Amino acid sequence: MSDTLQILDPSGKKVGAAPRLKADTLLRMFRAMVRTRAFDERCMKLQRTGRIGFSIPNRGIEAVSVGSAAALDIAQDWVAPHYRDFGIMLYHGVEAEAMMDNMYGNAADGSVGRQMPVHFSFREPLRYLSISSPLGTQIPQAVGVGMAMKGRGEDGVCLTTFGDGSTNTLGFHSGMNFAGVFGAPVIFLCQNNGWAISCPVEKQTASEGFAVKGEAYGIPGVKVDGNDVLAVYRAVSEAVKRARAGEGPTLIEAVTFRMGGHSTSDDPSKYVEASEFKEWEQRCPLKRFRTWLIHEGKLSEEQAMAMEAEADAEMLAASRVAAAKPKPALETIFNDVFETMPKHLRTQADWCIGHYSSRGEGVDEKGEFPL
Partner 1 sequence: MSELTMVQAVNDGLKSIMREDDTVLLMGEDVGPKGGVFLATEGLTAEFGEERCFDTPLSEDGIVGVGIGLALNGMKPVCEIQFQDFIFPAFDQIVSEAAKMRYRSGGQYTVPMVVRTPYGGGIRGGLYHSQSGEAYFAHTPGLKVVIPSTPYDAKGLLISSILDPDPVLFMEPKALYRAFREEVPEGVYTVDLSTVREVVPGDAAVIYCWGAMVPVATEAARRIKETRQQDVRVVDLRTLMPLDEDAVLQAARECGRVVVLQEAPRFCGYASEISALLAEHAVESLEAPVRRVTGFDTPFPNTLENYYLPDARRVMDAVEQVLDF
Active site residues: 258, 262, 271
Minimum gap (Å) between residue 89 Cβ and partner 1: 14
Within 13 Å, how many C-alpha atoms sit on residue 272's CB side? 26
- Max intra-chain CA distance, the chain: 69
Q: How far apart are CA 88 and CA 229, in angstroms?
A: 12
CA distance 324 to 345: 30
**Burial, 130: exposed, middle or buried (Cβ in 10 Å; 0-12, 13-18, 19+)?**
middle
**Which CB, 122 or 195, lies closer to partner 1?**
122
| 74 touches partner 1 by CB under 8 A | no
The reply to whether 177 sits near partner 1 by the rule CB under 8 A is yes
* Region near partner 1 per CB under 8 A, out of 63-71, 105-113, 227-235, 304-312: 105-113
d(CA 187, CA 176): 10
Q: If you ran DSSP here, which 8-state letter would residue 130 be given?
A: P
Listed in order, strand segments (DSSP E) in the chain are 78-80, 127-128, 158-163, 186-192, 195-196, 199-200, 221-225, 250-255
Residue pair 76/294 in contact by the 8 Å Cβ criterion:
no
What is the smallest separation between the CB atom of 75 and partner 1, expressed in angstroms? 15
Please list the residues that pair with 122 across neighbouring strands: 128
Q: Is 326 in the site for partner 1 (CB under 8 A)?
A: no
Per CB under 8 A, does 152 bind partner 1?
yes
Q: Considering the complex, what minimum distance in angstroms separates the CB of residue 344 from partner 1?
A: 6
Rg of the Cα atoms in the chain: 21
Instruction: Read off the DSSP letter of residue 128.
Output: E
Binding partner 1 (rule: CB under 8 A), the pick from 20, 22, 278, 343 is 343
Q: Provide the minimum distance between the beta carbon of 218 and partner 1 in the complex, in angstroms, as a whole number.
A: 12
Considering beta carbons, is residue 80 or 190 the nearer one to partner 1? 80
Interface stretch with partner 1, choices 149-157, 224-232, 237-245, 353-361 (CB under 8 A)? 149-157
**With CB under 8 A, what is the number of residues at the site for partner 1?**
47
Assess 149 for contact with partner 1 (CB under 8 A).
Answer: yes
What is the residue-wise DSSP string for 329-368? PGGGGTTTSSSS--HHHHHHHHHHHHHHHTTTSS--TTS-
Map the footprint of partner 1 across residues 115-144, applying CB under 8 A. 115, 119, 121-123, 129-130, 132, 134, 137, 139-144
Instruction: Give whichever of 145 and 224 is closer to partner 1, judged by the CB atom.
Output: 145
Residue of the chain from 57, 87, 110, 226 that contacts partner 1 (CB under 8 A):
110
Among 24, 301, 339, 361, binds partner 1 (CB under 8 A): 339
Nearest CA-CA partner of 74 in 61, 88, 62:
88
Minimum distance from residue 281 beta carbon to partner 1 (Å):
36
Q: Give the per-residue contact string, 22-61, with partner 1 (x = CB under 8 A; - = no).
A: ----------------------------------------
The 8 Å CB, 24+ separation contacts for 113-119 are: 113/327, 113/328, 113/332, 114/328, 114/332, 116/53, 116/54, 117/43, 117/52, 117/53, 117/54, 117/55, 118/54, 118/55, 118/56, 118/83, 119/83
Which of 1, 13, 93, 151 lies at the binding interface for partner 1 (CB under 8 A)? 151
70 vs 129, beta carbon nearer partner 1:
129
Contacts with partner 1, residue ranges (CB under 8 A):
78, 80, 109-112, 114-115, 119, 121-123, 129-130, 132, 134, 137, 139-149, 151-152, 158, 170-171, 174-175, 177-178, 181, 335-339, 342-345
